[in-house]
Amino acid sequence: MKVLPNYINGAWVSSKSKESLDVHNPATQEVIAKVPFGSGAAIDVNNAIELAHEAYLEWKDVPTMQRIQPLFKLKTLLENHKEGIATLITNECGKTFGESIGEIQRAIENVEVACGTHVLSQSEFSENVATGIDEFMIRQPIGVSACITPFNFPGMIPFWFLPYAIATGNAFILKTSEKVPMTMQYVFELIDKHIDLPKGLLNMVHGGKESVDALLQHPKVKTISFVGSTAVARYIYSEGTKYGKRVQAQGGAKNPVVIMPDADIEMTTKIITDSVYGCAGQRCLAASIIIPVGDDKGIFQEALVEAAKTRTVGYGMDKSTEMGPVINSDSKVRVERLIEKGIQEGGNLLVDGRNPKVSGFEKGNFIAPSIIEGLPLDGELISTEIFGPVMSLANFKQLDDTIDFINKGLYGNMACIFTRDGLAARKFRSEVMAGNIGINIGVAAPVAQFPFSGWKESFFGDLHGQGRHAIEFFTQTKVVIERWPKNWSRKF
Ligand code: NAD
């Protein structure tokens, strides 16, 4: 099996690295590709940066209206190849085909919003700030923009950044996740065949830490967009800023969902179950701590247990599958250990999803839905991101105590509340310290015209991905203060 090539300067080039990693289908363990890895891959990255910089020097002067034209083609291309891309996502990442289609839809949304860059990047003008003096602000591109992505949304996350970066006049380098490099490989093949772009404008490189470090250290890379775990996000932010770059680094999460006693049981159970187990719990917006508030937690607990037990686990391409495997065997072992840890800490395992039998896929990394209740609030598991299909159930008597608990948490990606009470909902959205709030919504994933917010240990930086924040992130502002003295005027 050949090692996947990089896409540099408009051509497919073999990596200089002698090392490679196997890419597995998480449902079967079959090796489906090999990806360049190690220090040799960093040579490819440095090469890509130099060529991207050349492309940037030309592209920055192309009018915005022309820069967005390839994005209209990109939108059609992604729409026309949605099923092919989704099949690749399912086969390398494990999620169900329906989830993969949904993922591509969210990628397309970002391309659509970036098609409006000519409007979104318009700026401010003040006439006569002092007598005869006008002042205005313009936005200019920055240079080479690099993006480092995680495994859980291989087809969507690159599009939180790519369309905005090029529409605003930058060149772009994507470093894929070494666990799921095939989806964007295919997307770049489509781009290469069908969209006429200047060489070096869009590049894709593979590899792990060495490739990332090359991006962080090279002086011609001006912005870094990162999505992944908190430990790596913190490293990317501190290293990237140390080298003078503009950095946005989205990290991990532990998302609470609050159920008020007046919530609609049927709707709440259905939505929460999808939010906890969607993508096998491997979403930064996965609901992970479910908190029925009040004395009568039992009715919600019973409904959630019943829903967990009936969820069909299997290969993502099978139509009957409601939940696929986790990404790899290390991840399966890690999640199962965390369940064990929860029991040791005193938790009560209400639903045990460890080692389910999935006929025909015995080697797959499957874990069925699991529910653990009564974890101590000062224990470790209640604040650990499990990143697997495990629900932790907690309970507080009052909304105030619940908000207090949420706000003491490390992360701040998302928090949701289910209630019919507008006042409770209003208090929640106002007081909870999280970047995305859901009200009677399970996964509060902002649509593309809003920033993908995130607070505390879930985000390092200032400007988030998507929408206007992306336009601001990929441009630098220049303020011009201008005087044209009247006594210079000629008579016309
Ligand atoms: P990860 O941090 O292991 O890897 C992400 C990227 O960083 C990969 O491209 C990887 O090659 C690179 N990397 C890994 N270790 C590195 C190191 N030591 N130095 C430099 N680069 C390194 O994350 P993952 O396991 O691929 O993804 C899951 C994590 O991503 C979860 O924590 C999840 O919550 C988070 N995530 C966050 C968001 C968000 O929007 N906040 C979205 C999706 C995923």
Q: What is the pLDDT of residue 9?
A: 98
- pLDDT band of residue 278 (cuts 50, 70, 90) is very high
Q: How far is the CA of 131 from the centre of ligand 1 (A)?
A: 53
Q: Are residues 261 and 243 in the same domain?
A: no
Whether 150 lines ligand 1, by a CB cut-off of 6 Å, is: yes
Q: Which positions are annotated as active-site residues?
A: 284
According to DSSP, residue 285 is labeled T
Neighbours of 166 (CB within 10 A): 28
Over pLDDT 70: what percentage of the chain?
Answer: 100
Arithmetic mean of pLDDT, 212-230: 98
The CATH number of residue 70's host domain is 3.40.605.10
Ligand 1 centroid to 249 CA: how many Å? 10
Residue 241 Cβ < 6 Å to ligand 1: no
Mean pLDDT taken over the chain: 97
Which range marks the domain in which residue 12 is found? 6-251+458-480
Q: Would you say residue 305 lies in a domain? A: yes
The pLDDT > 90 percentage for the chain reads 97
How far, in Å, CA of 225 to CA of 149, rounded?
8
Strand pairing partners for 436? 414
User: Quick one: pLDDT at residue 313?
Assistant: 98
- What's the CA gap between 347 and 296, in Å, rounded? 19
Asked if residue 388 and residue 470 are part of one domain, the reply reads: no
| Cα-to-centroid distance, 449 and ligand 1 (Å) | 24
Pocket probe mutation, ligand 1, options 229, 242, 411, 443, max atoms within 8 Å of Cβ: 229
Indicate if ligand 1 lies below 6 Å from the C-beta of 250: yes
Note the pLDDT of residue 149: 98
Examine the pLDDT at 491 and tell me if it is beyond 80. no
For the stretch 404-443, pLDDT in tens is 999 999 999 999 999 999 999 999 999 999 999 999 999 8
Ligand 1 atom showing the smallest separation from residue 284 Cα: 34
Domain shared by 51 and 10, yes or no: yes
pLDDT band at residue 489 using 50, 70 and 90 as cut-offs = confident
Determine, yes or no, domain membership for 487.
no
- The pLDDT value recorded for residue 487 is 87
| Alpha-carbon span 482 to 127, nearest angstrom | 10
- For 139, the enclosing helix (H) or strand (E) is strand 133-141
- Tell me the torsion sign for CA atoms 203, 209, 212, 213: negative
Ligand 1 centre to CA of 231 (Å) is 8
| pLDDT tens-digit readout, 94-147 | 999 999 999 999 999 999 999 999 999 999 999 999 999 999 999 999 999 999
**What atom of ligand 1 comes closest to residue 459's alpha carbon?**
41
Question: Is the shortest distance between the CB of 151 and ligand 1 below 6 Å?
Answer: yes
Is 458 close to ligand 1, i.e. is its CB under 6 Å away? Answer: yes
**Tally of helices (H runs) and strands (E runs) in the chain:** 16, 22
- Average pLDDT (263-279) is 97
Looking at residue 279, the DSSP 8-state letter turns out to be: G
> What average pLDDT does range 259-282 have in this prediction?
97
Say if residue 15 is in the same domain as residue 143.
yes
Task: Give the pLDDT score at 284.
Answer: 97
pLDDT for 26-63, tens place per residue? 999 999 999 999 999 999 999 999 999 999 999 999 99
pLDDT tens digit sequence for 345-394:
999 999 999 999 999 999 999 999 999 999 999 999 999 999 999 999 99
Using a 6 Å cutoff on CB, does residue 152 contact ligand 1? yes
Same domain? For 159 and 35 the reply is yes
Same domain, 277 and 159: no
Q: Is 485 inside a domain boundary?
A: no
pLDDT, position 25: 98
245 and 259, same domain (yes or no):
no
Compute the residue count for the chain.
492
Q: What does the pLDDT average to over 150-167?
A: 98
Does residue 29 fall inside a structural domain?
yes
Residue 294 placed within a domain: yes
Structure tokens at 342: 């929860």
Residue 153 pLDDT class (50, 70, 90 cuts): very high
Averaged pLDDT, 178-187: 98
In-domain check, residue 491: no
417 and 331 in a single domain? The answer is: yes
Give one word for 384, left, alpha or beta, with left for phi > 0 and alpha for psi -120 to 50: beta
Do strands 144-148 and 171-175 pair parallel, antiparallel, or not at all (unpaired)? Answer: parallel
Q: How far apart are CA 356 and CA 335, in angstroms?
A: 14
Q: Give the residue whose CA is nearest to atom 30 of ligand 1.
A: 228
CATH assignment of the domain containing 377: 3.40.309.10
Claim to verify: residue 243 and residue 312 sit in the same structural domain: no
Domains in the chain, number? 2
Tens digits of residue pLDDT in 79-101: 999 999 999 999 999 999 999 99
For residue 297, what pLDDT is reported? 84
The predicted structure's pLDDT at residue 77: 98
Q: Are residues 282 and 265 in the same domain?
A: yes
Q: Are 326 and 226 in a shared domain? A: no
Query: How far, in Å, is the centroid of ligand 1 from the Cα of 176?
Result: 10
Residue 114 sits in the same domain as residue 217 = yes
Residue 451 inside a domain? The answer is: no
Look at residue 296 in the predicted model and tell me its pLDDT: 83
Asked if the structure places residue 450 within a domain, the reply is: no
Given a cut of 80, whether residue 492 has pLDDT beyond it is no
- What per-residue confidence (pLDDT) applies to 486? 87
Average pLDDT over residues 261-266: 96
